[in-house]
């Protein structure tokens, strides 16, 4: 295929995608979701380094351990607040359309949860089947442990998102009754837990106390999105979120000495994200306010077919990106480990040169993700032709992989 025919084919595909988009489609919300989705693999690929032990096995390492000034990058790449905001907004519209069609709440929930569950089941089942094969081919057990941790690490998000999605009907009721104030108890509860685990009584607090932040911490932005979808959160509220969230974020960093990184740093006693601290919610509030304020401009920008087409493709492959991006990284790193120390890939992330070289690796990781996604995206579609026996086998393999990845076996 010549360059001219390739450009013509791409132009035709772009025009077709634009023409098939319904007039009522909220392009800005899809654009925000696409940005949040792309931030996940970009962040993980930049902040997930490796070291090689004398036996040639890969172990996790983070550039944040060596470069504290790298932490502000995590403020940009940590866009889960935007993702949950858009998720809440989209759930409201989806739930409303389902009720208009006569679909029950239970039926709507089953459909949403199946869409989340199938890709997770797919990636974990595939890895459960691949792990013994890789071991037989000479991949060290330590490398498989590292790989399983990386693969399952992003999937916690899907579990939390599933629980929150199941609570959507109650989120809608709260939004209709209280408006954006319905999110205040969520951030308030996180603040109380943070005070207990970091304040003057921290030595007397049980270690499990931080787990109380899991649900309200990630539900905060989702509830804001529900309020936005219910038209109970507008530009005035968005400005309050942007200014208030930014001020709280600065105060927590400068006055209360929260860790600067939005992701965990090896060796650090405190982490902001597992489970979420008040700093995560402050960032989510600021991001949510900014997202709502730029909505109209973004919608206008995405009227351009050339910009809109990639957004559609990314959104259609959302769960594939979330579930398989670490596999794309490992598809380069595991074979590379047999070659020894490869700069930016299997060498320790402890120099500025490593950062520059890792940036050069990103196009390869993206290409591998596209190639993997061509086959893995089938897990997102309904499993109509999959027998119950095969579904049960996939579930058993997925459970076994989870046990291995969590270090329970």
Asked if residue 30 belongs to a domain, the reply is no
pLDDT grade for 28, boundaries at 50, 70 and 90: very high
The predicted-structure confidence for 357-366, as pLDDT tens digits, reads as follows 999 999 999 9
pLDDT in tens, 43-83: 899 888 899 999 999 999 888 877 777 788 888 888 989 99
pLDDT value at 286 more than 60: yes
Indicate if the pLDDT at residue 244 is higher than 60: yes
- Condensed to tens digits (0 to 9), the pLDDT of residues 185-239 reads 999 999 999 999 998 888 888 988 989 999 999 999 999 999 999 999 999 999 9
pLDDT of residue 399: 84
57 domain-assigned: no
- Please check whether residue 364 lies inside any domain of the structure: yes
Burial of 409 (0-12, 13-18, 19+ CB in 10 A): exposed
pLDDT at 3: 61
Residue 58 parent element (H or E): strand 58-61
- b/e burial code for range 222-245 (CB count within 10 A of at least 16 → b): bbbbbbbbbebbeeebbeebbeeb
How many domains does the structure of the chain reveal?
1
Contact 121, 379 (CB under 8 A): yes
Residue 136 forms part of a structural domain: yes
Instruction: For residue 51, give the H/E element and its range.
Output: strand 49-52
Phi-psi region of 231 (alpha: psi -120 to 50; beta: other; left: phi over 0): left
Domain membership of residue 337 as a residue range: 68-405
Per-residue tokens: 337: 């480990």
Query: Are 289 and 245 in contact, with CB atoms under 8 Å apart?
Result: yes
b/e sequence 35-65, b meaning 16+ C-beta within 10 Å: bbbbbbbbbbbbbbbbbbeeebbbeebbbbb
Looking at residue 130, its pLDDT comes to 93
- Domain membership flag for residue 5: no
In a domain, 36, yes or no: no
* Within a domain: 9: no
The reply to whether 27 falls in a domain is no
Q: Are 260 and 71 in contact (CB under 8 A)?
A: yes
What are the pLDDT digits (tens) for 85-142? Answer: 999 999 999 999 998 999 998 999 988 888 888 899 899 999 999 999 999 999 999 9
CA angle 28–29–32, rounded 5-degree value: 85
Q: What is the pLDDT of residue 45?
A: 93
């Amino acid at each position: 295929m010549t360059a001219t025919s390739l450009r013509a084919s791409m132009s035709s595909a772009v025009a077709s995608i634009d023409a098939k988009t319904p007039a009522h489609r909220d392009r800005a919300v899809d654009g925000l979701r696409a940005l949040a989705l792309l931030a996940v693999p970009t962040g993980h690929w930049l902040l997930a380094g490796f070291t090689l032990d004398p036996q040639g096995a890969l172990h996790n390492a983070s550039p944040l351990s060596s470069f504290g000034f790298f932490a502000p990058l995590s403020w940009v790449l940590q866009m889960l607040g935007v993702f949950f905001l858009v998720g809440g907004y989209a759930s409201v519209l989806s739930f409303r359309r389902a009720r208009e069609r006569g679909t029950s709440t239970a039926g709507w929930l089953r459909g949403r949860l199946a869409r989340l569950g199938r890709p997770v089941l797919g990636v974990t089942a595939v890895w459960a089947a691949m792990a013994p094969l890789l071991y037989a081919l000479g991949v060290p057990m330590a490398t498989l442990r590292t790989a399983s941790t990386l693969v399952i690490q992003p999937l916690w998000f899907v579990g939390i998102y599933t629980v929150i999605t199941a609570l959507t009907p109650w989120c809608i009721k709260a939004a209709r009754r209280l408006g954006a104030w319905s999110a205040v108890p969520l951030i308030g509860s996180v603040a109380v837990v943070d005070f207990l685990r970091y304040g003057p009584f921290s030595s007397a607090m049980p270690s499990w106390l931080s787990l109380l932040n899991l649900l309200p911490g990630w539900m905060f932005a989702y509830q804001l999105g529900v309020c936005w979808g219910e038209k109970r959160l507008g530009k005035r509220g968005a400005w309050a979120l942007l200014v208030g969230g930014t001020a709280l974020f600065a105060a927590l960093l400068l006055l209360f000495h929260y860790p600067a990184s939005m992701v965990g740093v090896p060796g650090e006693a405190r982490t902001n994200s597992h489970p979420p601290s008040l700093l995560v919610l402050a960032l989510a509030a600021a991001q949510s306010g900014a997202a709502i304020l730029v909505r109209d401009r973004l919608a206008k920008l995405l009227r351009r077919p050339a910009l809109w087409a990639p957004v559609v493709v990314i959104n259609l492959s959302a769960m594939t990106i979330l579930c398989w991006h670490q596999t794309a990284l490992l598809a380069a790193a595991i074979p590379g480990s047999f070659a020894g120390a490869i700069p930016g890939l299997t060498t320790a992330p402890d120099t500025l040169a490593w950062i520059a070289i890792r940036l050069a690796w990103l196009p390869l990781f993206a290409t591998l993700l596209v190639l993997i996604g061509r086959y893995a995206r089938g897990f997102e579609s309904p499993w109509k032709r999959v027998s119950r026996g095969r579904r049960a086998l996939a579930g058993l393999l997925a459970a076994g992989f989870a046990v291995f990845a969590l270090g329970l076996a």
